[in-house]
């Protein structure tokens, strides 16, 4: 297997694809709330509605695209089409005259995400060896996070230099997104070696994959407590810290994720994926607990370091676990179900956490998150012993 800097060739270039795409995407997303409300005059509630609907669309399509990828034994074409759909929406934002058009473009962008993620993850799993699969996913997620950090910084620099020209941000984002498509030229399709045909699309396709279903339930229950980061960082001004510290906590969570993703992936390959996922769940529990009791900058900083560790210990490694828990002919479908479970539970967590924060208090939201995290951890450990025995 050909490697670049010790990384399988396909995985290396798929990492570049994700880095450039997230760089481009986060340039747009970091300015979108201000663009919608100050330029297009959208009510604040529309920001939440647009994001909520977009995430539901993406989560649903991840299952369907995964199944289609399995059925036609093709990963690259679906992934390229998905990335292309997302990238081509960005220049049309320049022409937007109202938030209705932004809503439509955002939906198309998320359709692209729904189409690409599951086939891409299956391609990553088929481009590496079982001994290094967690490392490969860790590298990919780290590159994704690097792009996610650079995008907002670039958007801020452009807005500062152009007297808040959102059109310039969207134009540059489109150019960076094209680099993601170009990187795909160096990615090779890998056909599945077995000749088994993907089963008919229904829930019964998972009947013979009991361990995966158990794993999925655990991830979903845990995800019900996974509060969205934009909500969590509001804890800073809520306890009296300056609003200027909010972006810093975003950065702390991102940098800890980037630094930990690859080492955690190597650890998972050497000592066990389930152990690392368990440690990730435990890290989230510690983070939410600190956010309940913390009233200082350093306590919050430590909490967001733990959040970064949680993401590094679960995001890519859960994807790597899917490969071992489902039949080869539904590998991309399995990735789709995992992505959907994480996405839907995160949406519910945001709604529940936001409601608790608004009507009960911030502490109630974090107590809820800590309780669900701990419940998910215990459920995972119990079911792991019952169903995950080799």
pLDDT higher than threshold 90 for residue 357? no
Range 179-184 average pLDDT: 96
Q: Which of 233, 173, 177 is nearest to 30 (CA)?
A: 173
How far, in Å, CA of 244 to CA of 248, rounded? Answer: 8
pLDDT higher than threshold 80 for residue 263? yes
Range 356-382 average pLDDT: 89
pLDDT higher than threshold 80 for residue 243? no
CB atoms within 10 A of CB 150: 18
How far, in Å, CA of 306 to CA of 290, rounded? Answer: 10
> Selecting from 3.30.465.10, 1.20.120.1200, 1.20.1250.20, 1.10.3720.10, what CATH number does the domain 205-390 have?
1.20.1250.20
| pLDDT tens-digit readout, 106-156 | 889 989 999 999 999 999 999 999 889 999 999 999 999 899 889 888 888
Single pTM value for the model? 0.81
- Cα 95 → chain centroid: 29
The CATH architecture that domain 1-190 belongs to is Up-down Bundle (1.20)
pLDDT higher than threshold 60 for residue 302? yes
Q: Which residue has the higher pLDDT, 50 or 8?
A: 8
pLDDT higher than threshold 80 for residue 267? yes
Identify the band that residue 44 occupies on the pLDDT scale cut at 50, 70 and 90.
low
pLDDT higher than threshold 90 for residue 53? no
Q: Which of 327, 347, 323 is nearest to 121 (CA)?
A: 323
Domain with CATH 1.20.1250.20 in the chain: 1-190, 205-390
pLDDT of residue 306: 96
Highest mean pLDDT: which range of 176-185, 247-256, 306-315, 370-379: 176-185
């Amino acid at each position: 297997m050909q490697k670049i800097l010790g990384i399988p060739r396909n995985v290396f270039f798929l990492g570049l694809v994700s880095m450039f795409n997230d760089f481009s995407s986060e340039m747009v997303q970091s300015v979108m709330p201000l663009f919608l409300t100050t330029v297009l005059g959208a009510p604040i509630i529309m920001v939440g509605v647009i994001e909520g609907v977009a995430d539901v669309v993406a989560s649903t399509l991840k299952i369907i695209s995964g199944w289609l990828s399995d059925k036609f034994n093709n990963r690259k074409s679906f992934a390229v089409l998905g990335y292309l759909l997302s990238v081509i929406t960005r220049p049309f934002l320049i022409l937007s005259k109202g938030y209705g058009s932004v809503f439509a473009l955002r939906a198309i962008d998320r359709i692209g995400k729904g189409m690409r993620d599951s086939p891409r993850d299956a391609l990553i799993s088929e481009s590496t060896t079982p001994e290094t699969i967690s490392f490969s996913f860790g590298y990919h997620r780290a590159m994704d996070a690097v792009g996610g950090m650079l995008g907002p910084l670039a958007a801020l620099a452009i807005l500062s230099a152009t007297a808040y020209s959102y059109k310039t941000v969207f134009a540059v984002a489109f150019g960076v997104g094209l680099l993601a498509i170009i990187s795909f030229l160096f990615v090779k399709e890998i056909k599945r070696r077995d000749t088994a045909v993907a089963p008919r699309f229904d829930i019964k396709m998972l009947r013979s994959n009991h361990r995966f279903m158990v794993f999925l339930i655990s991830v979903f229950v845990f995800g019900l407590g996974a509060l969205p980061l934009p909500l969590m960082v509001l804890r800073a001004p809520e306890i009296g810290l300056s609003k200027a510290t909010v972006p810093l906590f975003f950065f702390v969570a991102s940098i800890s994720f980037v630094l930990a993703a690859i080492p955690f992936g190597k650890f998972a390959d050497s000592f066990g994926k389930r152990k690392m996922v368990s440690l990730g769940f435990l890290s989230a529990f510690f983070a939410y607990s600190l956010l309940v009791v913390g009233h200082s900058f350093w306590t919050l900083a430590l909490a967001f370091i733990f959040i970064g560790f949680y993401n590094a210990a679960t995001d890519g490694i859960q994807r790597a676990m899917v490969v071992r828990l489902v039949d080869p002919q539904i590998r991309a479908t399995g990735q789709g179900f995992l992505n959907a479970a994480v996405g839907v539970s995160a949406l519910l967590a945001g709604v529940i956490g936001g409601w608790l924060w608004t009507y009960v208090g911030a502490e109630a939201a974090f107590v809820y998150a800590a309780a669900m995290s701990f419940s998910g951890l215990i459920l995972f450990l119990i079911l792991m012993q019952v169903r995950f025995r080799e």
